[in-house]
Amino acid sequence: MSGFLALIGRDLRLARRQGADVAMTLAFFVVVVALFPLGLGPTPALLARIAPGVLWVTALLAAMLSFDRLFQQDADDGGLDLLALSGLPLAVVALAKAVAHWLTTGLPTVLLAPLLAVTLDLPAAAYPALMAGLLLGTPTVSLLGTVGAALVVGARRAGVLVALIVLPLTIPVLIFGVAAVEAGSAGLETRPHLLLLAALLAGAVPLAPLAAGAALRQAVE
Amino acid sequence: MHRFANPTRFLRLANALLPWLGVAAVGLLGYGLWLGLLNSPADYQQGETVRIMYVHVPAAWVALAGYSTLALASAAFLVWKHPLADLAARAASPVGAGFTAIALVTGALWGQPMWGTWWVWDARLTSVLVLFFLYLGHMALTNAFDDPERGGKAGAVLALVGVVNLPIIKFSVDWWNTLHQPASVLRMGGSTIDPAMLTPLFVMAGGYFAVFAVALLLRIRALYAERRLRQLRLSLPDA
- Residues in contact with A159: Cβ distance below 8 Å, sequence separation at least 6, in sequence order: A65, A68
* pLDDT score of B136: 94
Gap between the Cα atoms of A9 and A4, Å rounded: 9
* pLDDT score of B190: 64
* pLDDT score of A218: 86
pLDDT tens readout for residues A51-97: 999 999 999 999 998 888 789 888 888 888 898 888 889 999 999 99
The Cα-based distances of A26 to A22, A23, A101, B115 in angstroms read: 6, 5, 13, 42
pLDDT tens readout for residues A107-160: 999 999 999 999 888 888 899 999 999 999 999 999 999 999 999 988 888 888
Residues of chain B with pLDDT under 50: none
Chain A positions touching B144 (Cβ under 8 A) are 152, 155-158, 161
Chain A positions touching B141 (Cβ under 8 A) are 151-152, 155, 161, 165
Question: Is residue B147 within 8 Å of residue B153, measured between CB atoms?
Answer: no
Contact call for B144 and A215, based on CB within 8 A: no
Kindly report the nearest CA distance between residue B154 and chain A, in angstroms: 5
* pLDDT score of A54: 93
Contact call for A152 and B157, based on CB within 8 A: no
Gap between the Cα atoms of B155 and B67, Å rounded: 13
The Cα-based distances of A174 to A24, A62, A143, A184, B73 in angstroms read: 23, 14, 15, 15, 31
What residues of chain A have any CB closer than 8 angstroms to a CB in chain B? 147, 151-152, 154-158, 161, 164-165, 167-169, 171, 211, 214-215, 218-219, 221
Chain B positions touching A165 (Cβ under 8 A) are 137, 140-141, 158
Domain count, chain A: 1
Contact call for A155 and B141, based on CB within 8 A: yes
Reference B26, options B16, B14, B34; nearest CA is B34
B118: how many CB neighbours lie within 10 A of its CB?
A: 12
B146: left (phi over 0), alpha (psi -120 to 50) or beta: alpha
Query: Among B130, B136, B144, whose Cβ lies nearest the Cβ of A155?
Result: B144
pLDDT tens readout for residues B14-44: 899 999 999 999 999 999 888 888 877 777 7
3-state SS track over chain A? CHHHHHHHHHHHHHHHHCHHHHHHHHHHHHHHHHHHHHHHCCCHHHHHHHHHHHHHHHHHHHHHHHHCHHHHHHHHHCHHHHHHHCCCCHHHHHHHHHHHHHHHHHHHHHHHHHHHHHHCCCCHHHHHHHHHHHHHHHHHHHHHHHHHHHHCCCCCCHHHHHHHHHHHHCHHHHHHHHHHHHHHHCCCCCHHHHHHHHHHHHHHHHHHHHHHHHHHHHHHC
Contact call for B137 and A154, based on CB within 8 A: no
Full residue range of the structural domain in which residue A158 is found: 2-220
Contact call for A164 and B154, based on CB within 8 A: no
- Residues in contact with A196: Cβ distance below 8 Å, sequence separation at least 6, in sequence order: A176
* pLDDT score of B187: 64
Q: Can you tell me whether residue B114 is helix, strand or coil?
A: helix
Q: What are phi and psi of A220, to 5 degrees?
A: -95, -10
DSSP B43: B
Kindly report the nearest CA distance between residue B157 and chain A, in angstroms: 6
Contact call for B157 and A165, based on CB within 8 A: no
Q: What are phi and psi of B43, to 5 degrees?
A: -75, 150
ipTM metric: 0.83
Chain A positions touching B151 (Cβ under 8 A) are 155
Contact call for A161 and B158, based on CB within 8 A: no
* pLDDT score of A40: 87
Query: Among A157, A158, A164, whose Cβ lies nearest the Cβ of B137?
Result: A164
pLDDT at residue A11 above 70?
yes
